[in-house]
Amino acid sequence: MVSNKWKRPQSVPFPSIWRRFKAKDVETGELVNYRVQDLPEDRYEEAVQLLVEHFLKDEPMCKAGGAAADPQSVAGFSNAWRLILQDRISLVCFKENSDEIVGVNVLKLCCRGTEDGIPEDAGKACTDMLRAMDYATRSGDLYNKYNVDTFFAGFALLIVPKYRALRLAEQILRARISLGRTIGVPLTSTVFTNKFSQAAAARAGFEETFVISYEDLKVSGPKIAFPGVETEFWKRPDNVPFPSIWHRFTVKDPKTGNVLEFRVQDLPEDRYEEAMDMMLEHFLRDEPMCRSRNCSQDPRAIADFRKLWPKVLKERLTLVCFREGCDEIYGMNFLKLTQKDVEDEPSDYGEALDDILTAMGFIADSGNLYDHYQVDKFINGYGLLVPPKFRGLRLGAEILKARIPLGRAVGLKLTSTIFSNRSSQRAATLAGFEDSFEISWEELRKKGPRMDFPVDGTPTVKLQSMRLD
């Protein structure tokens, strides 16, 4: 850990606001103002408790070391943060006209030649992380590489979970620029330990100074192992053939009495365009949220879905149903991985799709899936379609059942989807899904004008989930 006698210049007001920006309100989906400012002294302890509650559970090194369950490490981190906050350069993010802490970045001024060791009673998880951070910082040789005598370093970056889809980390990191220029510090640096904060740092303008894999960290420098840390964004495992068949079943044709054989498999890449065309023709017209926004007749909405669905398809999780001996599409389910703390790419979708995604985000957050099921990723549905001429065969439930072998094969333990009409809700129940969250359209409307979806025939919208392990 770094200590020094540096003091914030008295000429710089405290607290000061360092950055203002717009982002969505997580409750209403409306664009609202946020600000990043100095963390006020009367909020220090609240910030420390938020870090204990979330950072120690989610930060990869802390999670690997079991920091949250180790009282000595909890005390070690808490005491370190309290000491660092005395430098009065740590940042906090608030939504304008609210005093709720949205995010916090604990920052400390580091000076050449003024360093001390790690407290002996800090706890193993705390000690291991601080040793690893110290090794990475020293290996970066910041003072000499950048020809500086001071820099400020980050000792914790936290976005409160319900705000993690808003790309706030990037905004907080950008606020360091105006802070540093004002207090006369020419450099900022941080050891970013996970792929999400690293991506945010890159977007904010940080450059890589030193990189070491978690595997190499086991045998280099402090030689510390952090087991279970994921170092890449999820992708379909190479050892799972594509396309694969996941489910076979038979159905008796209610009109003829003939037994029909079907299979559910990965949607082949050469059928992507055909599948999207079918979704545009049928799903936008029939799905309640899309129908309430008249998406099938809205050129902007059609164009937006054409931008959204390729992002879904590229993960190669989407399912298609074929009748054996026939290549006509009888049904499909667009699927995508949803992962904790992953911030979506900025989008410029029009009002219709943006409203739908906002409502879906609210419903998904209300289900509290990550905590309830103790997972950090799951298979999410982005459209279940059985074309009208095949809707008497009950194919929806069979397509949903295929998620079970798919999920197990690719190593995912949960699937969850927002089902917005009675037929898909019944199909999900038949397939083994349970209700995770349910809200009436009337109650959803009260959450804000962007969540007003006039829907007839289905009283509620449901978030339904199924374990795959």
Assign 3-state DSSP to the chain and report helix, strand, coil percentages, each to 5: 40, 25, 35
- Give domain limits for the chain: 17-219, 245-467
Q: Any idea which of 15-19, 265-269, 319-323, 443-447 has the lowest mean pLDDT? A: 443-447
pLDDT above 60: residue 80? yes
pLDDT above 50: residue 39? yes
Q: Quote the mean pLDDT of the chain.
A: 92
Average pLDDT of 401-414?
Answer: 97
Asked whether the domain spanning 245-467 has the same topology as the one spanning 17-219, the reply is yes
- Kindly state the percentage of the chain with pLDDT values over 70: 96
Average pLDDT of 351-364?
Answer: 91
Euclidean distance between CA atoms 374 and 357, whole angstroms = 24
At residue 78, the 3 state secondary structure works out as: helix
pLDDT above 60: residue 464? yes
| Residue 235 pLDDT grade (very low, low, confident, very high; cuts 50, 70, 90) | confident
Superfamily of domain 17-219: Gcn5-related N-acetyltransferase (GNAT) (3.40.630.30)
Query: What integer pLDDT is reported at residue 441 of this predicted model?
Result: 94
**Rounded alpha-carbon distances, angstroms, from residue 459 to 160, 429, 462:** 32, 16, 10
Euclidean distance between CA atoms 208 and 210, whole angstroms = 6
Bigger pLDDT: 422 vs 234: 422
At residue 285, what is the residue type? R
Query: What integer pLDDT is reported at residue 255 of this predicted model?
Result: 82
Q: E strand or H helix at 370, and its extent?
A: helix 369-373
pLDDT above 70: residue 5? no
Query: What integer pLDDT is reported at residue 170 of this predicted model?
Result: 94
Q: Which tens digit of pLDDT belongs to each residue from 180-229?
A: 999 999 999 999 998 888 889 999 999 999 999 888 888 888 889 888 77
Query: What integer pLDDT is reported at residue 342 of this predicted model?
Result: 67
Query: What integer pLDDT is reported at residue 1 of this predicted model?
Result: 43
Q: Outline where DSSP puts E strands in 307-421.
A: 319-323, 329-339, 377-385, 414-419
pLDDT above 80: residue 257? yes
Token pair of 285 as six digits: 């017209």
Q: What is the CA radius of gyration of the chain?
A: 25
CATH code for the domain defined by 245-467: 3.40.630.30
Who's near 154: CB < 8 A, 6+ residues apart?
A: 105, 106, 107, 188, 189, 190, 191
Q: Which tens digit of pLDDT belongs to each residue from 101-151?
A: 999 999 999 998 877 667 778 889 999 999 999 999 999 999 999 999 999
Query: What integer pLDDT is reported at residue 116 of this predicted model?
Result: 63
| H helix runs in 59-111, sequence order | 60-65, 71-85
pTM for the model: 0.70
